[in-house]
Structures are given as C-alpha cells and as structure tokens.
Amino acid sequence: MKIILIQLKLVALGCVAMMIFVISTAFRSEDGSDNPFKEIGISKERGEEFITESFLKGYFYSLSSVNPKNIVAGNKAAVTKDLLVYCKRHLRTESFKQEYREFRTKAKPLAPIIRTKEQIRIELVSNYEETIRNNQNMVNYALVMKNPEMKIRAEKSMAKCRKIIEEVNAGSSKLMTEQLIYADMRYEADLRTFQKHICEWEKNYPADTRQLIKSRLELFLDITKDIDFNAGLKEVNGKKIFVNPFYEQKSAEWKMGYRAGKDVVQTARTFAGEWMKEL
C-alpha cells in the first residue's frame, strides 16, 4: 500500500472527515466498527495514528489500495459509518486526550521576554570587544604591509571602542540608553503580537477536546453543505475537470466530498449532526 501525504489548509476534524472520504471507498470490514481498517490493509494502530495525526496536525493522509476492483464493489456508506463510530470512540480515549494536551502545549505561543539592562550591557561590551580584536588584527596586518594610514585608522577605531566600553560599564553611555529604549519598544511590539497569537491559540486549541471536536464538525458540515453530486465532468488533456468552471474553484476538500459520493457524504453529515448534539 502506498501512503501519500498531502498537506492541506484544513485542520483537525475537517481533515479527519476528508480522510474518511477516501478511506470509505474500501469495502466493509467483517469486523465492523471494531476494526474498520482491516480490509484497507493497515493495522488498527496505524489507523488510529492516521486519525490522530490528521486531527492534530492538519495533514491529510490518503491511502491507495492495492486492489482497486474490491474498492469499487464496496459499501461506502456502511464503512463510512464504521469509521466515524471508530473515530468518535478514539477521540474519547484518554490516550488521545493526552496527545492533544501535549500538542496544544507545544503549539502555545511563547511570551516575549524583555532584555534586561545587564543583558544589554554584556551584549554591547562583547560586540565592541570583538571589534577591538578585529582592529588589532588590522594593526598587525598594517605593520606587515608597512601601511601607516591603515594602522592609524585601526588604532583610532580601537580607542573609540574602548571609550564606549568604559562608558557602558560606567552607566553613562548614550548608546546604552538608546538600546534600553529600543528594548522596551521591541518588547511592547512583541507583547501585542503575542496577545494576538494567544487569542488565536485559545480559539484553535480549546482546553476542552469537546469544544475542539464541535468546531471541527461545524467546519465539516459547512464545507459539505453545497456539494453538487450531479455536477458533470469533462476530460481536458487527460485530466477530468468540472464542466461548470465555478466548481473548479472549489476547495480540495469540497472536491474530495464530490468524489466520495452522496451516500458517503450524507452518511457523514448525518453522523456529524447527531454527534454535535452530544457535545
């Protein structure tokens, strides 16, 4: 079985729903919802990993079957129901909740840290000491090359750097004052950005997994609400496209829903609607 990883803009359950669209083209497993991945040719553990990864990371995992003839003969609506039941059960497990908590923590934006006066002092001194070393090398080179002008310029630069270091360490440096003002301004700007990102993070990754699931169900229902399953296709340069150019502008997720078929999508939509009532 070949596994193709395609990154999509859609995240969480929207991705899971799209994954279900493709996986649901396989025929019904004899084990029912206890192991809907059997006939697809992957283990239950691997199937759970697909669900978790798609849900958490916003990736869509497409599975290409080794036996396409069996896929065509399958009961798409039935296996869709099996997979949704399994998905729902998996998302209730403590193992998934723990993975989500860890993923949520990693995704949390880091608060900005203001640079202290001492940090700025150390940084300035270090930079100017490096400049002094470079100029000393220039002095040595000028002596070898017998270039008095180069030597004088380098020595003047070294003297200027030593004076700045002395002022910085004494706390009387204008440069130090400017750097402190800049550090405050940078911190304020970073803090505003952080506050924006933390709000987005709280919205996209709520602490309660039920709220996350609900928002993804809503997203899935919104994407699939207006799929025209009777839309015609035509072949252009060996590729099938919609006769109606408007449909060609639809999202990849919408087109996956179209390819899955009305029976699969309607089954998923009905299941999603009932699921939302429980959240």
pLDDT digit string, tens, across residues 91-148 = 999 999 999 999 999 999 999 999 999 999 999 999 999 999 999 999 999 999 999 9
pLDDT at 22: 41
Number of other CB atoms surrounding residue 138 within 10 Å? 18
In the chain, the amino acid numbered 277 is: K
Q: What distance in Å separates the CA atoms of residue 16 and residue 46, rounded to the nearest whole number?
A: 14
pLDDT at 136: 97
- Which alpha helices (DSSP H) does 8-116 contain, by range? 12-23, 44-57, 68-72, 76-90, 94-107
Residues in CB range of 262: below 8 A, 6 or more apart? 227, 229
Q: State the pTM of this model.
A: 0.69
Q: What pLDDT tens digit does each residue of the chain (279 aa) get?
A: 333 223 333 333 444 444 444 444 433 434 444 666 775 567 788 878 878 877 776 544 444 433 333 334 456 777 788 888 888 999 999 999 999 999 999 999 999 999 999 999 999 999 999 999 999 999 999 999 999 999 999 999 999 999 999 999 998 899 999 999 999 999 999 999 999 999 999 998 999 999 988 888 888 899 899 999 999 999 999 999 999 999 999 988 899 889 888 988 999 999 999 999 998
Q: Where are the domains of the chain?
A: 2-108+208-223+252-278, 117-204
Q: What distance in Å separates the CA atoms of residue 76 and residue 99, rounded to the nearest whole number?
A: 30
Q: What distance in Å separates the CA atoms of residue 140 and residue 160, rounded to the nearest whole number?
A: 18
Backbone angles phi, psi at 3, to 5 degrees: -110, 120
